[in-house]
Amino acid sequence: MESEDDMHDANEVASVEEDDNYYSGGEDDHDMDEAGEGEDYGYDYDEEEDDDAADYDFIANSDDGDDALVSRSQKNYTILKEEDIQRRQFEDITKISTVLSIPREAACILLRRYNWSVNNVHEEWFADEENVRRAVGILEKPVVKSPNYKEVSCGICFESYSIGKLRTLACSHLFCDTCWKAYISTSINDGPGCLVLRCPDPSCGAAVGQDMIDKLASHEDKEKYRRYLLRSYVEDSRKIKWCPAPGCDSAVEYVVGSGSYDVTCSCSHSFCWNCAEEAHRPVDCETVAKWVLKNSAESENMNWILANSKPCPKCKRPIEKNQGCMHMTCTPPCKFEFCWLCLGQWSDHGERTGGFYACNRYEAAKQEGVYDESERRREMAKNSLERYTHYYERWASNQSSRQKAMADLHQMQSVHLEKLSEVQCQPESQLKFIIEAWQQIVECRKVLKWTYAYGFYLPEAEHTKKQFFEYLQGEAEAGLERLHQCAEKELMNYLSSEGPSKDFNDFRTKLAGLTSVTRNYFENLVRALENGLSDVDSQAVCNKMSSKTAAGTSKSKSGRGKGSSKTGTAVRNADDSGSWACDKCTYMNARSAAACHVCNHRR
């Protein structure tokens, strides 16, 4: 800081952000951006841009085009455990160290600087080795002459030592071991900035490598350093992110441009790789962020919804929801069967009454009479909260239903399956269909839950779309209810029976059929919603909806359309082929079938 010009540099130091910026590249280099005594060491950091930026530009566009339709069974991500990350780091360091003929610690410093991209290190190094060396502090020769007298003073404590007692990096700035140790320990305990530690001399950019750390740091500090290094591999990369599940140490590497961001970690946590929220297909990340924000803003108003208890619409006694599906039966003697969501009579739900499942729809309260301005405003405020409440309640119900289903799935795998195998005299391998059913329920509850956020943000003005959406959602809700009920309640009969039931095979056929039908329906639904219901044809929808055929569970066989344009039509044209929906389970049967393929119910 001797001259005016030096001062300029000092004042240009960017920011003093907290830990999360330590890995963001360039900024750390400013730490040692002290202008030196000579031109040679006054580095110009401004020229170091984020060289990788261009590589990642296409992330933002990856939702475009047909990518989004990549089948979910094709994995577009890799789970990395701690040992995988360590192995990769080791291999990359070996590669760089071999190709550039530099020590491992120098290779490590280079890789860290270029976000662990071997290619970028090669590119930069071969383009301008000298500049790269200077920027990261890998020196070839000392920057000061080694003193040739015997007694030298340490540059920090100023005590005199015989020269053999002092230690230096390649730069020949000498410090005693006590000061080196304190310097390194202070830096490691300050945070991940220790990964870009430089020589203590303010004018010197020589990097402190891992070899120095290994020699001088305490065991505990070495371990911290190792963790920071491990973290940097994930946090510097734009293709790898940590699994957000508490206590999970795995990371997920995502193939950019490969469509859906939903990933499932080895710890079984499903999350959106892009925004780290739980997986949220078919809703996009922005909508999820808006919805989450809305929920936290309204959380006080919504607490009652999470209470999980409602008065029975008939006898008014509080009913605790302890099952996953929405079909509630009040305790005896009332035994009233109702829908948890709309509190309507259960028999009004589904195709039997000729109407379709409609409690997913929000009908704004009718406004009657004449309002003065303030009353109207109050009414509007109330309506908007009511509208939100409607969607939030369904979102939350599916959420808790999903959690219940996950617990049930676990219970099934750990306890019930074995018992069922005994009671029904079936090998467990023959009971996989039950696990598959439960896995499907868990998945569908998640999708269904997010469709309520989707619905909330669907513009009111787009009537046709909204109508079509509500129709699809209603069918999804109904289809899933059937599956959930079958897996939850009907299964109980077989579990608690004395011996093998003779209709167990029918049950198998039904549950497996419902599982497959529901899976296909939901896959189509997700694609249709992700496409923004772009091919809604108002005519067809209206025809469809007035025909009152439960076509929701359509296309079990041919549902895997080739592209976006097929999905909407798959639902719409379900009965054009002459196929028919079963009255009992709504399975779409071939025209030729006289009885339902799934439940044997006659046409």
Partner 1 sequence: MTSDSASSRKALSKIASNRLQKELVEWQVNPPAGFKHIPTDNLKRWVIEVNGAPGTLYAGEMYQLQVDFPEHYPMEAPQVIFVPPAPLHPHIYSNGHICLDILYDSWSPAMTVSSICISILSMLSSSPAKQRPADNDRYVKNCKNGRSPKETRWWFHDDKV
Binding residues for partner 1, rule: CB under 8 A, are 1-4, 6-8, 10-18, 30-34, 155-159, 173, 175, 178-179, 182-183, 186, 200-202
Strand partners, 327: 339
- Cβ neighbours, 10 Å, residue 426: 17
Residue 416 engages Zn ion in binding (rule: CB under 5 A): no
* 265 among known catalytic residues: no
CB 84 within 8 A of CB 92: no
DSSP, collapsed to helix, strand or coil, labels residue 353 as: helix
User: What does 8 bind: partner 1, Zn ion, none (CB cut-off 5 to 8 Å by kind)?
Assistant: partner 1
Three-state DSSP state, 302: helix
> Distance between CA atoms of 374 and 372, rounded to whole angstroms?
6
Sketch the per residue contact string, 321 through 360, with Zn ion: x for CB under 5 A, - otherwise.
Answer: ---------x---x-x--x-xx-x--------------x-
Contacts of 575 (CB under 8 A, 6+ apart): 547, 549, 551, 554, 581
* Closer CB to partner 1, 8 or 227, in the complex: 8
CA 36 distance to own-chain centroid: 47
- Report what 2 binds from Zn ion, partner 1, none; CB cut-off 5-8 Å by kind: partner 1
In the bound complex, what is the minimum distance in angstroms from residue 193's beta carbon to partner 1?
Answer: 9
Candidates 272, 487, 491, 571; binder of Zn ion (CB under 5 A) is 272
109, 110, 136, 204: which one binds Zn ion (CB under 5 A): 204
Q: Measured between alpha carbons, how far is 442 from 413 in angstroms, rounded to an integer?
A: 14
By a kind-dependent CB cut-off of 5 to 8 A, residue 300 interacts, out of partner 1, Zn ion, none, with: none
- Provide the 3-class DSSP secondary structure of residue 272: strand
**Does the protein bind Zn ion through residue 486 (CB under 5 A)?**
no
DSSP conformation class of 311: E
Residue with tokens 């091919």: 535
Question: Minimum Å distance from CB 45 to partner 1?
Answer: 13
Nearer to partner 1, 11 or 101 (CB): 11
Binding of Zn ion at residue 256 (CB under 5 A)? no
Nearest CA-CA partner of 361 in 475, 484, 284, 523: 475
CA separation for the pair 586, 351 (Å, rounded): 8
How buried is 558 (Cβ within 10 angstroms: 0-12 exposed, 13-18 middle, 19+ buried)? exposed
Q: Between 62 and 117, whose beta carbon lies closer to Zn ion?
A: 62
The neighbouring-strand residues paired with 310 are: 319
Q: Which does 200 bind (CB under 5 to 8 A by kind): Zn ion, partner 1, none?
A: partner 1
Does residue 500 have a cis peptide bond before it, meaning omega lies within 30 degrees of 0?
no
344 binds, among Zn ion, partner 1, none (CB under 5 to 8 A by kind): Zn ion
Q: 30 and 193 in contact (C-beta within 8 Å)?
A: no
Residue from 195, 480, 585, 588 in contact with Zn ion (CB under 5 A): 585
Stretch that binds Zn ion, among 24-32, 42-50, 275-283, 386-394 (CB under 5 A): 275-283
Encoding tokens for residue 340? 């948890």
| Contact by Cβ (8 Å): 201, 171 | yes
Q: Per-residue string for binding with Zn ion, 166-195, x by CB under 5 A?
A: -----x-x--x--x----------------
**CB 477, min distance to Zn ion, A:** 9
Stretch that binds Zn ion, among 15-23, 52-60, 202-210, 538-546 (CB under 5 A): 202-210
Write the burial class of residue 540 (CB in 10 Å: 0-12 exposed, 13-18 middle, 19+ buried). Answer: middle
3 state SS of 17: coil
7 binds, options Zn ion, partner 1, none, Cβ within 5 to 8 A by partner type: partner 1
CA geometry: angle 165, 169, 171, nearest 5 deg:
110
Q: Which is nearer to partner 1, 201 or 530 (CB)?
A: 201
> Of these, 182, 248, 292, 542, which contacts Zn ion (CB under 5 A)?
248
| DSSP-assigned states of every residue in 104-119 | HHHHHHHHHHTTT-HH
- Which of these is catalytic: 325, 342, 444, 585? 325
Catalytic positions are 325
| Chain contacts with Zn ion (rule: CB under 5 A) | 154, 156-157, 171, 173, 176, 179, 199, 201, 204, 206, 243, 245, 248, 250, 265, 267, 269, 272, 274-275, 285, 312, 314-315, 330, 334, 336, 339, 341-342, 344, 359, 582, 584-585, 587, 596, 598-599, 601
